[in-house]
Amino acid sequence: MRRFPSCIGFVVVLLLSTGACLDELRFYLRSEPKTFNPAVVADDASETIRYLTGGVLLRLNRQTQRVEPELAQAWKISRDGRTITFQLRSGIYFSDGTPFSALDVKYTMEQLMDPALHSPTGDAFRSGSGRVDTLVYSPEKIAVTFPHPVAGVERLFDQVAIVSARSPKKEAAVLGPFYVGDYKPGAYVYLRKNPNYWKRDEAGHSLPYLDAVKLEIQANRDIEMLRFSRNEVHLINSMDADYFDRLSRIAPGKARDAGPSLDSEQMWFNQYPGAPLPAYKLEWFQSRNFRRAISQAIHRDDLCRVVYGGHASPALGPVSPANRFWFDAQLKPVAFNQQEALKLLQEDGFQLSKGVLHDHGGHPVEFSIVTNSGNRSREKMATMIQSDLRSLGITANVVTLDFASLIQRISEDFNYEAALLGLVNVELDPNAQMNVWLSSSEEHQWNPKQKSPSTVWEAEIDRLMRAQASALDDRIRKRYFDQVQEIVADQVPFIYLVNKNALVGISPLVQGVSPVAVRPQTYWNIERVKLAAEKASNGN
Amino acid sequence: MKGMRRVAMGLASLLILFSMVAGLLSRFDYMRQDRMCIDARPSPEHWLGTDALGRDRFSRLVHGTRVSLMLAPAAAGLSTLLAFALGAAPGFLGKFHERIARTFIDLVLSMPWLFLLLMVRTLLPLNISPKASVAVTFLMLGLLGWGVPARILLARARRLRQSEFVLFARCTGVSRCRLLGIHLMPNLWPVMLAQFLIAVPVFILAEANLSLLGLGVAEPLPSLGSLLRELETILSVRGDLCSFSALAVLVLIVSSLQIVASQSEVH
């Protein structure tokens, strides 16, 4: 009789140990997800959940940067560029068992284009006024027709997670590798393996290999680093160079530099005519020679080496070399040359006397550079730029502001002189930068909301951006966009400083991760990621 | 205890002297960036090594100590004076004045200072020199930091007002001004000194935090507060003891001043 309780104990221990052997990948979300509805995703945390749970018709392979078939096994774009026809896979089911068909694609597109929903994903498809129509030919074939041609339309479907038209679970029924199993606000989002996921590996095993993904919500990077170094979390999707260097020292095998990312850091001068700035300063900032001189006076190599510990490269223009197709290889790096910079300034009537640069009106050249407080890399860059410009007799005052005040100043009051900020590029396609380059746009930072282009070169950029957006051949589009990049390099509305490298942390417990420069850097191939036995690599 | 007080006073004086002759002590300009020598260990050239931008840590420490030791006590003095004027004096004058002062202090303490500081930042021009910025910061701290000491001084002044010797003085016809000068000030002096000494490190640290609002000491000017910001993340824990030098100086200053103050209160 004594054996009975011990048998129960053994079974309990066995069950517990089986539970502990679940292949559960853990990493951090740095903020609370704002939504689980894939159509209205606008923040990083929600985007992570959409990527891990959403099934899409086409997927951009983050490594090859090419579009690949997913739920659609084939697709065709019409000659006029307005219609894309998908041939869907058959025999696919949502996570709750509801079958997938063309009706779900139709329903998803209708949801996305519903003006009442204000879907950011849907906005990308709006090429002009008019309706987006869908035509279901059969349960496996559907055509989507846009009112105007949409350049690079197939890439946009990478963001469109298909939602079931019939499932009572609505958005909770998914076609991706995982589904949301549990959510505790402020603590974690628990994703479980989708039992109905359609993909199999070469050996015929069902994917994904992982049983679950636990996304813990934590904004504090110090805690993330500590728990990562103890193997309590398995991935860090992006980290600053300081943290990367620390990680490289304490656990060299875990820190991985995936090369230049799409993100850039840049500085620009306020050229807005209505800005509350003295007329002479506005004149400096609107001068091409002045902007070029400042650009040449900044030692970008030092920024990369000192601020980013070598994990960055001098930026050449609006597109990072990581964006293989759209990067203009003809662009030349801006050489650090303070003599040349001084010559350019002298052409505009600036004079250096007693170590202070004066303009033709005798005003000493002094301006402020605003950046967001708390971002140590930007603060360091601003201080280094301040030091570089001092050699030219220019006084640059570094002002750090909280983010809300900064955005208020650069987007609403225009009460600033120069700003130093970064641009996070998620998309490879130049259409995603339309809002930056069109002179009428609110995001045209140096001089936004122009009724008509105020300079000839901005008018030319407008023309080229519109031309590339309406061309259907990618080679023709590239030719137009290359010209945009060359104009930007010549006129320097943005002084591009550095392209940061994609720095990630990967636990040795994780197998199959191949970090890339494009987001999501570490888990883009989540289906093929495995966890090794914990004992094997506890020693970092 | 007398010996300890002497040591503390000597140390405090030495630190103050050390910061006053900062220019003579440091071999490098505090803003000079030697970009080929970043995060360097201590050496005969750089006694405390260099920071992340290759600036001489010793030079920044002595200059930063000078900035903080000049301005934090000035701001603390201003706030203590305001606390006396707006807390102690009304508390001593009578119930009516005391009630008005208490209401005003409560109102000031309940105000959302963060938003007020943001408003101040908006009103200030962006293009002010680092020296002007640091002066404005400490002036703001002095003007805003009197609420808590005022409440403490008010309570002590009320007790003094009700004490027998003050009652006797009033009965003999001593004027209010004389009462304030002869009876109130000497009796409140130890409390005021304690409040002043508490405010000095608080203001040094507050200045570091205000930089988040764009109000603190602007680059490249160093201050103890801005040097302490290097320690805000886990990255500072890397065995480089020199990065803790600003903290060590702050601890030395605060503890010496506290010992001096506590001894003077006892005497």
- pLDDT tens, residue by residue, A251-304: 888 999 999 999 999 999 999 999 999 999 999 999 999 999 999 999 999 999
Query: A306 CB near a chain B CB, below 8 Å?
Result: yes
Query: A222 CB near a chain B CB, below 8 Å?
Result: yes
A470 three-state secondary structure: helix
Give the residue ranges of DSSP H helices in A29-145: 44-53, 102-112, 120-123
From the CA of A10, how many Å to the nearest CA of chain B?
43
For residue A477, what are the CA distances in angstroms to A62, A181, A459? 21, 43, 18
Q: Does pLDDT of A9 surpass 70? A: no
Residue A352 to residue A160: CA distance in whole angstroms: 57
Residue A189 to residue A185: CA distance in whole angstroms: 8
| Confidence (pLDDT) at B248 | 81
B70 three-state secondary structure: helix
Could you tell me which of A470, A471, A540 has the C-alpha nearest to residue A507? A540
| Confidence (pLDDT) at B261 | 67
pTM recorded for the entire structure: 0.86
| Confidence (pLDDT) at A127 | 66
Averaged pLDDT, A332-356: 95
Judging contacts by C-beta atoms under 8 Å, the chain A residues touching residue B209 are none
| Confidence (pLDDT) at A15 | 45
Q: Does pLDDT of A118 surpass 60? A: yes
Residue of B nearest to A276 (CA): B125
Residue pair B90/B97 in contact (Cβ under 8 Å)? The answer is yes
From the CA of A172, how many Å to the nearest CA of chain B?
39
Averaged pLDDT, B214-225: 83
B196-218 confidence digits (pLDDT tens): 988 888 888 888 777 666 677 88
Residue B59 to residue B48: CA distance in whole angstroms: 9
Q: Does pLDDT of B122 surpass 80? A: no
What percentage of chain A exceeds 70 in pLDDT? 94
Query: A417 CB near a chain B CB, below 8 Å?
Result: yes
From the CA of B255, how many Å to the nearest CA of chain A?
30
Average pLDDT, chain A: 91
Beta-strand relationship, A178-184 and A141-145: unpaired
Which site among A224, A369, A399 would you substitute to test the B interface, given the most B Cβ atoms closer than 10 Å to its Cβ? A399
Judging contacts by C-beta atoms under 8 Å, the chain B residues touching residue A399 are 126, 214, 218
Of A299, A398, A416, the CB nearest to B219: A398
- Higher pLDDT: A409 or B204? It is A409
Going by the DSSP 8-state scheme, the letter that residue B217 receives in this structure is: P
What phi, psi does A69 have (nearest 5°)? -70, 145
Q: Mark yes or no for CB contact A405/B214 under 8 Å.
A: yes
Could you tell me which of A302, A265, A285 has the C-alpha nearest to residue A378? A265
CA A422 to chain centre: 11
From the CA of A245, how many Å to the nearest CA of chain B?
9
| Confidence (pLDDT) at A8 | 52
Could you tell me which of A479, A465, A414, A412 has the C-alpha nearest to residue A437? A465
Residue of A nearest to B37 (CA): A306
Residue A531 to residue A524: CA distance in whole angstroms: 16
B128-147 confidence digits (pLDDT tens): 888 888 888 889 889 989 99
Averaged pLDDT, A382-407: 93
Q: How many CA atoms lie within 13 A of A206 on its CB side?
A: 11
A538 band by pLDDT with thresholds 50, 70 and 90: very low
A387 three-state secondary structure: helix
Residue A166 burial class via C-beta count within 10 angstroms: exposed 0-12, middle 13-18, buried 19 and up: middle
Residue A118 to residue A39: CA distance in whole angstroms: 9
Q: Mark yes or no for CB contact A380/B35 under 8 Å.
A: no
Structure tokens at A265: 């850091």
A536 band by pLDDT with thresholds 50, 70 and 90: very low
| Confidence (pLDDT) at A58 | 97
| Confidence (pLDDT) at B234 | 66
Residue pair A364/A356 in contact (Cβ under 8 Å)? The answer is yes
H-run or E-run covering A60: strand A58-61
Of A299, A306, A367, the CB nearest to B53: A306
Could you tell me which of B29, B40, B88, B86 has the C-alpha nearest to residue B62? B29
Of A299, A382, A397, the CB nearest to B128: A397
- Put simply, the chain A residues between 367 and 406 with a CB less than 8 A from any chain B CB are 367-368, 370, 373-374, 379-380, 382-384, 386-387, 397-402, 405
Residue of A nearest to B123 (CA): A415
Residue A415 to residue A404: CA distance in whole angstroms: 14
Which site among A242, A250, A285, A400 would you substitute to test the B interface, given the most B Cβ atoms closer than 10 Å to its Cβ? A400
Average pLDDT, chain B: 85
A36 band by pLDDT with thresholds 50, 70 and 90: very high
| Confidence (pLDDT) at A539 | 40
For residue A416, what are the CA distances in angstroms to A71, A411, A443, A501, B133? 49, 10, 16, 29, 17
| Confidence (pLDDT) at B237 | 61
What phi, psi does A465 have (nearest 5°)? -65, -40
Q: How many cross-chain Cβ pairs, A to B, lie less than 8 Å apart?
A: 76
B258 band by pLDDT with thresholds 50, 70 and 90: confident
From the CA of A266, how many Å to the nearest CA of chain B?
19
Could you tell me which of A439, A442, A458, A460 has the C-alpha nearest to residue A450? A439
Residue A332 burial class via C-beta count within 10 angstroms: exposed 0-12, middle 13-18, buried 19 and up: exposed
Residue of B nearest to A299 (CA): B35
Judging contacts by C-beta atoms under 8 Å, the chain B residues touching residue A401 are 121, 213-214
Residue pair B225/B216 in contact (Cβ under 8 Å)? The answer is yes
Q: Does pLDDT of A434 surpass 90? A: no
Residue B210 to residue B117: CA distance in whole angstroms: 9
Residue pair B261/B8 in contact (Cβ under 8 Å)? The answer is no
Q: Mark yes or no for CB contact B129/A225 under 8 Å.
A: no
| Confidence (pLDDT) at A1 | 44
Q: Does pLDDT of B153 surpass 70? A: yes
Poorest-pLDDT segment among A83-87, A148-152, A292-296: A148-152
| Confidence (pLDDT) at A402 | 84
How does DSSP assign A215-269, residue by residue? EEE---HHHHHHHHHTTSS-EES---HHHHHHHHHH-TTTEEEEEEEEEEEEEEE
| Confidence (pLDDT) at B22 | 73
Judging contacts by C-beta atoms under 8 Å, the chain B residues touching residue A226 are 234
B245 three-state secondary structure: helix
Q: Does pLDDT of B27 surpass 50? A: yes
A126 band by pLDDT with thresholds 50, 70 and 90: confident
Residue pair B86/B101 in contact (Cβ under 8 Å)? The answer is yes
Of B31, B118, B235, the CB nearest to A242: B235
Poorest-pLDDT segment among A156-165, A427-436, B1-10: B1-10
Judging contacts by C-beta atoms under 8 Å, the chain A residues touching residue B54 are 306
Residue pair B172/B214 in contact (Cβ under 8 Å)? The answer is no
Judging contacts by C-beta atoms under 8 Å, the chain A residues touching residue B33 are 384, 387
| Confidence (pLDDT) at B133 | 84
Q: Does pLDDT of A11 surpass 60? A: no
A180-202 confidence digits (pLDDT tens): 999 999 999 999 999 999 999 99
| Confidence (pLDDT) at B151 | 94
| Confidence (pLDDT) at A258 | 93
Give the residue ranges of DSSP H helices in chain B: 2-20, 22-25, 57-83, 89-93, 95-109, 113-123, 130-144, 147-161, 164-171, 176-178, 185-210, 224-228, 245-266
CA A397 to chain centre: 30
Q: Mark yes or no for CB contact B126/A402 under 8 Å.
A: no
Of B118, B126, B220, the CB nearest to A368: B126
Beta-strand relationship, A395-401 and A212-217: unpaired
| Confidence (pLDDT) at A465 | 93
Place of tokens 């005497």: B267
Averaged pLDDT, A529-539: 65
